[in-house]
Chain A
Amino acid sequence: MDTFADLKQAIFDYDTQAAEQLARQSLAEGRDPVEGMSVVMETLREVGDLFDREELWLPDLLSAAKTAQAAMPILEDEIKRTGKHMESLGTVVIGTVFGDLHSIGKSMVSVMLAAQGFKVVDLGTDVPAEKFVQAVKENQAEILAMSSLLTTTAPEQGKVIRALEEEGLRGQVKVMVGGGSITPHFANKIGADGYGATAPEAVQVARTLVGK
């Protein structure tokens, strides 16, 4: 049996342990980690297609992404170590804004972006503006994604955008927003570049923002 074929099956079976073992095994066999990452990405795209055709649901999508994430760091580290090159869609800094502890939507988007091939820096919840700005700067992020569930915390998203402007970073990063209290009108009003009503939609928005 081919190790990469087994890795693909492990993702479809949501077998995290097997995915990690097969990633390590592939390196021990001298297989190309770039090829391994391509297999993982392609498998996730197939899972995504099944979701779009309503044959799979969010738990399946997220479980597949979680399984893939067991293998990805192993392959990514090897790619870095050997000086090889792997196309990434870009780096996304993501978090729920200051004063807001809600994380479900943000976590779904975070996992799904990683599964798509973005490098994701997830800052968690209750993230103050300065921390978002610092993370964008340090990671040279292409996208900043912010979530807010409460109407009372929504203005923090505008505050972060202004903080990016003050730091001279606004032109270097695309900002997308979402969450229960956020609307396209609000996103427009605060100067965001994109808005996603649902997690799958947010992933499409992110791809559009990086032109991929």
Chain B
Amino acid sequence: MTIKTFQRKIKPFEILTGAQVEAIHRGALRTLEQTGVQFESKRALQLFEKGGCKVDYDQRRARVPAELADTLLRQIPPQFTMRSANPDHNLTLGGDGLTFAMFSGLRTVDLDTWDTRVPTVQDNHDANKISDGLENVHGSTSYTPYCDFVDVSPVMLLPISTWSRLKYFSKVNRIGSAVDSHIFEIQMAQALGVDVYAAFEASPPLTFSEAASDCGVAAAEAGFPVEAGCGGMMGASHPATLSGSLVTGMTEVMAAAVLTQLVRPGTPMIFNSFDIPINMRTGAPRFGSIAISLFQVCWNQIWRSVYGVPVMNGGVGPSDAKQIDFQNGYEKGIGILLSALSGANMINTIGGLTGELSYHPVQAVLDNDIAGMIGRFVEGVDVSDETLALDLIAEVGPIPGFYMDQAHTRKWWRSEQYITRFADHLPYPEWLEKGKKAALDYARERSDELLAKYKPAISPEKDRELDCILADAESYYRRKGLL
């Protein structure tokens, strides 16, 4: 049994010509072969060399022959399924599926003053419980919902983040990576008998840290899927041009994919893009920009048409707005819609408010509705004898003909429409009478309700096993002098 995801029945939206796709694809293969990618990990370099790549140990650079890269990429499965703590929440990624995952934030937000604060571990548990109850949230990324906690040493952030999610979020999780966190995150997943997918993300341009490749390699060795990700800042760590950024981003994830496939051929993978243009006034990332969507639409088209592999879009996750307001709505809405229309299999956006600064569960409730609307759209229009309803049309005829009381209406109206549940749809007099509520008010109520109704998916014994592994992580970091 797998979690219900959206199945795209419309043709994916494309903006590149075949020649443009090929130019970018060839550009990435050429860069991978001639410029190469830097890996800080000596082990990674040795694996590349053993796999038939040219390695310069002084430069710490691996250069991958184009033909080898192409061959290895073509052995990545187009679709794969992962087990989660609740078997009804097992997740299939790839193909025509569209899913949504939790985004992340360093801070939580006061919804009245919009001041941020460092969240507590309990805030993280609660945010996980709320997302667990949202029907259009299918998984998570790592260091989510929050990636900083009060009174927690930084080296424990990722182990605690994954521990909290595995306890309270019964859908598929991502792990990794910093300071060997993946060692304990993998152990936690194995203790529960669930699958996790591992972050293997570049430090642009064209570089991977030891932590990143260690995590990807360890996950592949353990039999888990891997997410290869790029996240350049266009105009800073990636070229200012979209096609140049696509080449650089693709080169980076190709390198990660080659290494993963060398370690364990056929490892399922998903290819994530997080390229953001840089704000040329402040030097900070410009979330909410339409350039992100242009990048991601092209990303989706290229990977889908050339290699048929699953794709993930992370850059459209949050907005640049500091409040849940009009800007937040349009930046996220436009970005998510374009990603979905162009074939993303996972959109990493739920709960993300400001950049990577803040997350809020109420935002997650609102995003759940956006996901539902957009998911409904990509499922398209059912044209069949029954839905054409020619006989019914003939029977009902002109005025005073009426459809509201027909069995056909009772059967079809819910699935044809999508009802956003936490938005204002009241007639004006009723809206006045009921206190002039806006979407934010409904979402706040729903968030409280989900928290109150939450039921854990794992047994007390498994819960304790997770605690033991977390304690092991703590001991490990103490021995290393990091705690």
Contact = CB atoms under 8 A, between A and B. Distances in A.
Interface in A55-70: 57-59
Interface stretch (A42-50, A75-83, A98-106, A131-139): A98-106
A26 B473 CA distance: 63
Interface stretch (A8-16, A116-124, A148-156, A167-175): A148-156
B233 A104 contact: yes
A99 B179 contact: yes
B178 interface: yes
A199 interface: yes
Interface stretch (B154-162, B167-175, B259-267, B417-425): B154-162
B157 A151 contact: yes
Contacts, number: 52
Which applies to chain B's interface (DSSP): helix, strand, loop or mixed? Answer: loop
The main secondary structure of chain A at its interface with chain B is: loop
A198 B282 contact: yes
Q: Most chain-A CB neighbours within 10 Å: which of B147, B236, B356?
A: B236
Contact of B283 (A58, A154, A181): A58
B203 A101 contact: yes
A54 interface: yes
Nearest to B203: A101
Given A99-B179, A104-B236, A181-B106, A151 B154 contact: yes
Contact of A150 (B178, B236, B283): B178
A57 B281 CA distance: 6
A163 B421 CA distance: 56
A102 B155 CA distance: 18
B283 A199 contact: yes
Contact of B154 (A102, A152, A180): A152
A58 B281 contact: yes
A200 B236 CA distance: 16
A177 interface: no
A155 B203 CA distance: 20
A71 interface: no
Interface string A78-102: 0000000000000000000001011
A155 B483 CA distance: 11
A155 B40 CA distance: 21
A59 B154 contact: no
10 contacts: A54-B281, A58-B283, A59-B240, A101-B209, A102-B203, A151-B148, A152-B154, A152-B179, A198-B282, A200-B282
B252 to A, nearest CB: 13
Of all A-B residue pairs in the complex, the 6 with the closest CB atoms, nearest first, are A57-B280, A152-B178, A101-B203, A198-B282, A104-B236, A152-B154
B251 to A, nearest CB: 17
A108 interface: yes
Contacts of A105: 283
Interface of A: 54, 57-59, 99, 101-102, 104-105, 108, 126, 150-155, 180-181, 198-200
Given A152-B158, A154-B154, A58 B284 contact: no
B7 interface: no
B237 interface: yes
B207 interface: yes
A59 B236 CA distance: 9
Contacts of B106: 151, 181
A155 B235 contact: no
Contacts of B356: 180
A41 to B, nearest CB: 22
A148 to B, nearest CB: 10
A191 B106 CA distance: 22
A101 B178 contact: no
A143 B296 CA distance: 41
Nearest to A57: B280
A57 B240 CA distance: 14
A155 B155 CA distance: 9
A101 B155 CA distance: 17
Nearest to A56: B280
A101 B40 contact: yes
A180 B233 CA distance: 13
Given A54-B281, A58-B283, 20 more contacts: A57-B280, A58-B278, A59-B280, A99-B211, A104-B278, A104-B283, A126-B40, A150-B178, A152-B154, A152-B155, A152-B178, A154-B154, A155-B153, A155-B154, A181-B106, A181-B148, A198-B282, A198-B283, A198-B284, A200-B282
B237 A104 contact: yes
A104 B234 CA distance: 11
Contacts of A200: 282-283
Given A59-B235, A101-B40, A104-B236, A152 B283 contact: no
Contacts of B207: 101
Interface in B443-469: none
Contacts of A104: 233, 236-237, 278, 283
A54 B280 CA distance: 10
Contacts of A151: 106, 147-148, 154, 157
Contacts of B282: 198-200
A57 B283 CA distance: 10
Contacts of B40: 101, 126
A150 B181 CA distance: 14
Contacts of B178: 99, 150, 152
Interface in B123-154: 147-148, 153-154
B444 to A, nearest CB: 27
A104 B282 CA distance: 12
Nearest to A202: B283
B142 to A, nearest CB: 12
A102 B209 CA distance: 10
A44 B281 CA distance: 17
Nearest to A61: B280
Contacts of A152: 154-155, 157-158, 178-179
Of A59, A102, A108, A151, chain B has the most CB atoms within 10 Å of the CB of A151
